[in-house]
């Protein structure tokens, strides 16, 4: 790795000696610096404040003359003083180099640093993987191109557990154990497990460690499909589903407040397993989304206080968060910061580090916080947890993925985690303000007014520290979610959510003209800006500390440009040229508003926003005929039929069906096709046929081309 640098005014550099490169403080990237020397004018110009805002805890020295006097307040903020006199040259050098070396030592991580040292040993490998440091790839021109693209270090870091020097990732020994222990400290867990196949696997590990056939699991109907797989299909647990909200724009909301009432939950148990209704703790586990895909954030304290006494454990699926404890106004929603006692549930938290934290794709982690129930019969010890872990972990783990998880923990330790995320929050606030001031149709999804003042007219620092600016106040028109209680949910400040025209924000009803968000999403992609997802009249952008002003300016300028194209009704071939080329005969001569109107009219005709809402309401849940596990067994055995949507009504689903994203099942294996779910997929089939190029990915159902040129959706159902 490259040596870190010293940053100072170059005019000061002859007062000390250093083997590290020296760069001017004005141009310094502080992530590459291990010590800083500032003059008094530098401090007056704000350089010390800039360094402190990073949270890196860099050693900073003040360069002063022998006769200068430095106040105690300033001295308390720096590491020491450098005397600008030739007689102090040696002393200055020792002081600066020692501090820089110590800073670099403090940056080392348990696993990644060990990996770097191991790779530097250049051992002769006769073990797996077969490419052996990339050399096999280099025996062929195609492989050589592959090698050159990714670089030597990636291939040399792809190691095998045959050499015990790097420890063991499956039984958590050596450097892997140290790395996970450090992450547990950073995230306030009792124990942390690094998982290398995404939170889909993390969820299954947690669920398989806790659940067995016939256990009752309290189950958020918003749960990601991996929770259905782990809890219901693999473990065979019995779900009590909790109904959830959708608003007219297409945003995914939270669980209704009434679902957390004990009397209601016991009534639901009575409908499924009457003999369990009066058990003291009827639920082996509750599985709750801590934050929905669309940025509805739960109050973890409220959840535990409401249902904790009914559950042995609560699994908070935090795939879409994980940074909450590093943002002051979000800390109350963190399950890992809760004060817990022996009467509370054990807590498990799964986090998709690759989503909005710092990790390669597939990096995930499980946090276990249950020392407060150790010794009780419901407690799951490490050996049982690791048994489930090894059922889902590869015996050939990719070490760079594990190293990324290690480094992510280091980045969030100390003051730097909060500093990075606060900057992200403030950038997101400024982006929302800019959109509110410059855009006419496309609006940020936040309250219009707080304390009688327009949201955008409040001070950014105040907004960044006060949850009131993001709260879902029950019955407020701007969000149109129903069933919420006071202080139950708030908008994730790190999800930039926008709404497009077509929904009256005061009534939640369709307006005559609308702009489905998928059109805006495709326009942005045409210009190299990639949103996370869009649905109905909503579009989502994920914010992380990676953001910078140039990215926001590009996004906002494109949205402003899109509105101008909409007002002037530009030809579609100029707005979405790729789609027009691919489906030339379909969209020949179309304008932008013409396409918007056609797509919006389909939404109105089938009332898709209502169907989407109904699918997640208890009164419209599909009826259960088989357990998900039983239905899956029949599917595996081939006791199924493959039928078009038109023949599915009343038939038992063999697979769970869903649009992806968001990966939330609309119908679960063993449920009966019909009602809102069937009508929703029928509406999607219409869209697929009438508006090619704008269909979403569907899983658990299959799109086939018919002889007449149309496309039809098919699904597997259990044989009658």
Please, is 671 exposed, middle or buried when counting C-beta atoms within 10 Å of its C-beta (0-12, 13-18, 19+)?
buried
Q: Is residue 593 part of a domain?
A: no
What confidence tier does 19 reach under pLDDT thresholds 50, 70, 90? confident
Please give the angle made by the CA atoms of 629, 635 and 638, to the nearest 5 degrees.
Answer: 145
Residues 6+ apart with CB under 8 A from 405: 179, 183, 194, 353, 359, 363, 365
Cα 121 to its chain centre, rounded Å, is 37
The total number of structural domains in the chain stands at 4
Q: Is residue 114 part of a domain?
A: no
CB 586 within 8 A of CB 692: yes
Q: Is residue 514 part of a domain?
A: yes
CB 68 within 8 A of CB 84: no
> Which domain covers residue 623, as residue numbers?
610-718
User: Do 487 and 519 belong together in one domain?
Assistant: yes
User: Do 324 and 199 belong together in one domain?
Assistant: yes
At residue 14, what are phi and psi to the nearest 5 degrees?
-85, 5
> Residue 191's pLDDT is what?
99
At residue 368, what are phi and psi to the nearest 5 degrees?
-115, 120
Q: Is residue 141 part of a domain?
A: no
The domain that contains 180 carries what CATH number? 3.40.640.10
Specify whether 14 is catalytic.
no
- Of 386, 411, 436, the position where a domain reaches its end is 411
User: Do 502 and 646 belong together in one domain?
Assistant: no
User: Do 465 and 484 belong together in one domain?
Assistant: yes
The domain that contains 618 carries what CATH number? 3.90.100.10
pLDDT in tens, 202-249: 999 999 999 999 999 999 999 999 999 999 999 999 999 999 999 999
Question: Which ranges of 378-459 would DSSP assign to H, the alpha helix?
Answer: 382-392, 399-412, 416-438
> Residue 613's pLDDT is what?
98
The domain that contains 553 carries what CATH number? 3.90.1150.10
- Calculate mean pLDDT across residues 188-194: 99
> Residue 1's pLDDT is what?
72
CA–CA dist 33, 23 (Å, integer): 9
What confidence tier does 49 reach under pLDDT thresholds 50, 70, 90? very high
> Which H/E stretch holds residue 305?
helix 300-307
User: Do 501 and 552 belong together in one domain?
Assistant: yes
Q: Is residue 136 part of a domain?
A: no
CA separation, residue 645 to residues 374, 437, 715 (Å): 50, 46, 7
> Which H/E stretch holds residue 596?
helix 592-606
pLDDT in tens, 287-312: 999 999 999 999 999 999 999 999 99
> Residue 69's pLDDT is what?
79
pLDDT in tens, 326-376: 999 999 999 999 999 999 999 999 999 999 999 999 999 999 999 999 999
Q: Is the pLDDT of residue 66 over 90?
A: no
CA–CA dist 377, 292 (Å, integer): 32
Q: Which of 86-90, 419-423, 650-654, 687-691 has the lowest mean pLDDT?
A: 86-90
User: Do 563 and 631 belong together in one domain?
Assistant: no
Specify whether 355 is catalytic.
yes
User: Do 688 and 546 belong together in one domain?
Assistant: no
Specify whether 224 is catalytic.
yes
User: Do 242 and 310 belong together in one domain?
Assistant: yes
- Calculate mean pLDDT across residues 14-29: 90
Catalytic annotation, pick one of 204, 224, 495, 600: 224
User: Do 335 and 465 belong together in one domain?
Assistant: no
The domain that contains 71 carries what CATH number? 3.40.50.220
Residues 6+ apart with CB under 8 A from 275: none
Q: Is residue 140 part of a domain?
A: no
Catalytic annotation, pick one of 42, 220, 317, 535: 317
DSSP string of 339-367, one letter each residue: ---TTSPEEEEEE-HHHHSS--TT-EEEE
- Of 75, 90, 107, the position where a domain reaches its end is 107
CB 429 within 8 A of CB 463: yes
> Residue 161's pLDDT is what?
83
Q: Which residue from 380, 118, 294, 283 is spatially nearest to 664, judged by alpha carbons?
A: 294
User: Do 59 and 207 belong together in one domain?
Assistant: no
Q: State the SS3 of 167-232.
A: CECCCCECHHHHHHHHHHHHCCCCEEEEECCHHHHHHHHHHHHHCCCCCEEEEECCCEHHHHHHHH
CA–CA dist 386, 399 (Å, integer): 19
- Of 107, 136, 157, the position where a domain reaches its end is 107
pLDDT in tens, 511-525: 999 999 999 999 999
User: Do 322 and 238 belong together in one domain?
Assistant: yes
- Calculate mean pLDDT across residues 533-555: 97
Q: Is the pLDDT of residue 164 over 90?
A: no
- Calculate mean pLDDT across residues 308-317: 99
**pTM for this prediction:** 0.96
Please, is 376 exposed, middle or buried when counting C-beta atoms within 10 Å of its C-beta (0-12, 13-18, 19+)?
exposed
> Residue 272's pLDDT is what?
95
CB 80 within 8 A of CB 99: yes
Q: Is residue 584 part of a domain?
A: no
Catalytic annotation, pick one of 204, 354, 355, 458: 355
Q: Is residue 367 part of a domain?
A: yes
- Calculate mean pLDDT across residues 392-413: 97
User: Do 367 and 426 belong together in one domain?
Assistant: no
């Amino acid at each position: 790795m490259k040596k870190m640098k010293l940053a100072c005014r170059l005019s000061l550099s002859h007062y000390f000696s250093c083997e590290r490169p020296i760069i001017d403080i004005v141009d310094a990237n502080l992530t590459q610096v291990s010590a800083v020397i500032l003059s008094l004018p530098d401090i007056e110009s704000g350089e010390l404040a800039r360094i402190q805002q990073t949270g890196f805890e860099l050693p900073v020295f003040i360069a002063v003359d022998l006769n200068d006097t430095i106040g105690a307040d300033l001295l308390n903020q720096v590491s020491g003083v450098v005397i600008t006199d030739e007689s102090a040259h040696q002393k200055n050098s020792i002081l600066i180099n020692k501090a820089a070396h110590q800073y670099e030592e403090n940056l080392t991580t348990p696993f990644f640093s060990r990996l770097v040292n191991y790779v530097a040993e250049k051992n002769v490998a006769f073990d797996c993987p077969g490419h052996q440091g990339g050399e096999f790839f280099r025996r062929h021109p195609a492989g050589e191109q592959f090698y050159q693209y990714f670089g030597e270090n990636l291939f040399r870091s792809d190691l095998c557990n045959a050499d015990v020097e790097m420890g063991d990732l499956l039984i958590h020994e050596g450097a892997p154990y140290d790395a996970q222990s450090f992450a547990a400290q950073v995230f306030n867990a009792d124990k942390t497990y690094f998982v290398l196949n995404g939170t889909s696997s993390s969820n299954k590990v947690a669920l398989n460690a806790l659940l067995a056939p016939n256990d009752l699991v309290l189950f958020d109907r918003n749960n990601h499909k991996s929770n259905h797989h782990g809890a219901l299909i693999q473990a065979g647990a019995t779900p009590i589903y909790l109904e959830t909200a959708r608003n007219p724009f297409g945003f995914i909301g939270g669980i209704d407040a009434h679902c957390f009432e004990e009397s209601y939950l016991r009534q639901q148990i009575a409908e499924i397993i009457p003999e369990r209704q009066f058990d003291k703790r009827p639920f082996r586990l509750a599985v709750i989304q801590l934050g929905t895909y669309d940025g509805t954030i739960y109050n973890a304290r409220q959840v535990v206080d409401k249902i904790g006494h009914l559950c042995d454990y609560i699994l908070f699926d935090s795939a879409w968060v994980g940074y909450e404890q590093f943002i002051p106004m979000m800390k109350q929603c963190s399950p890992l910061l809760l004060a817990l006692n022996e009467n509370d549930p054990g807590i498990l938290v799964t986090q998709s580090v690759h989503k909005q934290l710092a990790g390669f794709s597939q990096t995930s982690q499980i946090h276990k916080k249950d020392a407060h129930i150790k010794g009780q019969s419901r407690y799951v010890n490490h050996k049982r947890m690791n048994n489930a872990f090894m059922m889902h972990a590869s015996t050939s783990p990719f070490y760079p993925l594990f190293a990324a998880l290690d480094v992510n923990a280091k980045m969030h330790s100390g003051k730097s985690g909060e500093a990075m995320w606060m900057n992200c929050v403030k950038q997101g606030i400024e982006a929302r303000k800019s959109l509110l001031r410059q855009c006419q149709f496309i609006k940020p999804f936040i309250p219009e007014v707080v304390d009688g003042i327009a949201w955008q007219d409040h001070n950014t620092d105040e907004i960044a520290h006060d949850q009131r600016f993001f709260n879902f106040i029950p019955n407020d028109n701007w969000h149109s979610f129903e069933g919420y209680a006071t202080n139950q949910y708030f908008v994730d400040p790190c999800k930039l959510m926008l709404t497009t025209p077509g929904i009256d924000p005061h009534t939640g009803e369709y307006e005559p003209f609308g702009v489905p968000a998928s059109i805006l999403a495709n326009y942005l992609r045409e210009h190299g800006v990639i949103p996370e997802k869009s649905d109905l009249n909503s579009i989502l952008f994920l914010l992380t500390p990676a953001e910078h002003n140039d990215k926001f300016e590009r996004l906002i300028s494109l949205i402003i440009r899109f509105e101008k194209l909409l007002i002037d009704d530009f030809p579609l071939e100029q707005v979405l040229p790729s789609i027009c080329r691919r489906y030339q005969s379909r969209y020949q001569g179309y304008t932008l508003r013409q396409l918007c109107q056609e797509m919006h009219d389909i939404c109105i005709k089938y009332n898709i926003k209502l169907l989407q809402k109904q699918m997640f309401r208890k009164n419209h849940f599909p009826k259960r005929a088989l357990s998900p596990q039983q239905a899956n067994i029949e599917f595996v055995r081939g006791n199924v039929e493959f039928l078009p949507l038109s023949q599915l009504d009343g038939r038992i689903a063999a697979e769970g069906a869903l649009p992806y994203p968001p990966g939330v099942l609309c119908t679960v294996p063993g449920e009966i096709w019909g009602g809102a779910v069937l009508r929703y997929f029928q509406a999607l089939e219409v869209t697929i046929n009438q508006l090619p190029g704008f269909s979403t990915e569907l899983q658990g159902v299959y799109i086939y081309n018919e002889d007449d040129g149309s496309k039809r959706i098919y699904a597997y159902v259990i044989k009658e």
